[in-house]
Amino acid sequence: MGQYASNFAITNPILGGVATIMEKVGALSDSQALSQIKERAMLKPCFLPKDPFDPVGYLAEAKTREKTVKDISPLLKKLFLWAKKSQATMNPLLLSAVFTYMLTALGPLKKGNEELALSYGKAVLAPYRKIFGYLPYEKRVLSNPKASLKALHLSSDSGDCGPYILFLFDQIAGALDDARRGLRSITKEQTELEKKLLSIMRPKVSYSSKEIMLKLGLKSRVATKRNYLEPAIKDGLIKMTLPSKINSPLQRYIKK
């Protein structure tokens, strides 16, 4: 890859990319959305280093993936020190993208440098917004090797990592769109289940979980509670007769 590009210009496309991503994040950052995303395992956390600014830990992780790695310790120390210092002055999205690019270009592995670099870049972002720790944007990057390689070469050849920043921003934005579409699907499915639940309950009549399970034609109380009762309670459609004793065998449910 040659000498990595440590420079980049804050261009309008880059600023626009940051704004677009944060707008999409805002639509997915309420507690209910994050809860649904995690509970349904729509987004699964990948490997994240405990300290994204530790070059020793980075090399140790590299050696678990490949027995022999290039000796780049001096350059790594300089890069990790720069990244750590830049936390206070640099937008996390920009820092993560530049850090990911530079680690990829500098990487000590024969192959797999970008995958490892993406994990470290994500670890920079995760404390900034929780969703970044679960957002599988690295899968989009790794499944698009031609575009990724093109962005890497453009950045390396020009001495400006802007092309890779924009490429990575596109992948993050795309992953956020995927998450939102998945969330809409979950919401639609949940709405249908809630409608079905309400259709078998009469107002002011209390039902046990077993009675509801049988009326719905189900065989599992656990599934009945998880897929029907708990979402309906969260949405304020039904209430418990013993709200302070959630798991009481005497618990019953009433349609509001």
Q: What is the pLDDT of residues 3-12, one digit of tens each?
A: 444 567 788 8
The answer to whether residue 228 is domain-embedded is yes
Assign 35 a pLDDT band (cuts: 50, 70, 90): low
Let me know whether 152 and 115 are in one domain. Answer: yes
Domain boundary among 183, 210, 238: 183
- The one-character DSSP state at 3 is S
CA distance 151 to 169: 12
Over range 209-229, report the average pLDDT. Answer: 92
Which residues does 186 contact at the CB level (< 8 Å), separation at least 6? 36, 40, 42
Q: What is the pLDDT of residues 239-253, one digit of tens each?
A: 999 999 988 999 999
The answer to whether residue 134 is domain-embedded is yes
Dump the DSSP string for 178-202. HHHHHHHHHHHHHHHHHHHHHHT--
CA-wise closest residue to 1 among 114, 124, 129, 106: 106
Q: What is the pLDDT of residues 92-124, one digit of tens each?
A: 999 999 999 999 998 899 889 999 999 999 999
CA distance 76 to 80: 6
The answer to whether residue 242 is domain-embedded is yes
The answer to whether residue 18 is domain-embedded is yes
Let me know whether 178 and 222 are in one domain. Answer: no
The answer to whether residue 191 is domain-embedded is no
Which residues does 209 contact at the CB level (< 8 Å), separation at least 6? 221, 224, 225, 229, 251, 253
Number of domains the chain is built from: 2
Let me know whether 251 and 175 are in one domain. Answer: no
Q: What is the pLDDT of residues 135-184, one digit of tens each?
A: 889 999 999 999 999 999 999 898 889 999 999 999 999 988 888 777 66
Cβ pair 175, 135 in contact under 8 A? yes
Let me know whether 158 and 206 are in one domain. Answer: no
CA distance 99 to 118: 9
Let me know whether 135 and 92 are in one domain. Answer: yes
What is the pLDDT, as a whole number, of residue 11? 84
CA distance 119 to 177: 20
CA distance 37 to 112: 28
Domain boundary among 119, 151, 183: 183
Q: What is the dihedral of CA 44, 45, 47, 50, to 10 degrees?
A: -170
Assign 187 a pLDDT band (cuts: 50, 70, 90): low
CA distance 219 to 120: 45
CA 74 to chain centre: 32
Over range 181-205, report the average pLDDT. Answer: 79
Q: What is the pLDDT of residues 39-98, one digit of tens each?
A: 554 555 567 898 999 999 999 999 999 888 888 788 888 999 999 999 999 999 999 999
Let me know whether 147 and 210 are in one domain. Answer: no
CA distance 183 to 177: 10
Q: What is the dihedral of CA 156, 158, 164, 169, to 10 degrees?
A: 160
Is the pLDDT assigned to residue 21 strictly greater than 60?
A: yes
Let me know whether 135 and 51 are in one domain. Answer: yes
Name the helix (H) or strand (E) containing 93. Answer: helix 92-106
Percentage of residues in the chain having pLDDT higher than 90: 51
SS3 209: helix
The answer to whether residue 165 is domain-embedded is yes
The answer to whether residue 56 is domain-embedded is yes
Cβ pair 43, 136 in contact under 8 A? yes
Let me know whether 143 and 83 are in one domain. Answer: yes
- The one-character DSSP state at 243 is T
Domain boundary among 135, 150, 183: 183
Over range 207-225, report the average pLDDT. Answer: 92
The answer to whether residue 21 is domain-embedded is yes
What is the pLDDT, as a whole number, of residue 215? 93
Let me know whether 176 and 73 are in one domain. Answer: yes
Let me know whether 117 and 243 are in one domain. Answer: no
**Residue-number span of the structural domain to which 50 is assigned:** 12-183
The amino acid that residue 84 corresponds to is: K
Over range 195-224, report the average pLDDT. Answer: 92
Let me know whether 157 and 245 are in one domain. Answer: no
Let me know whether 62 and 177 are in one domain. Answer: yes
CA distance 109 to 219: 52
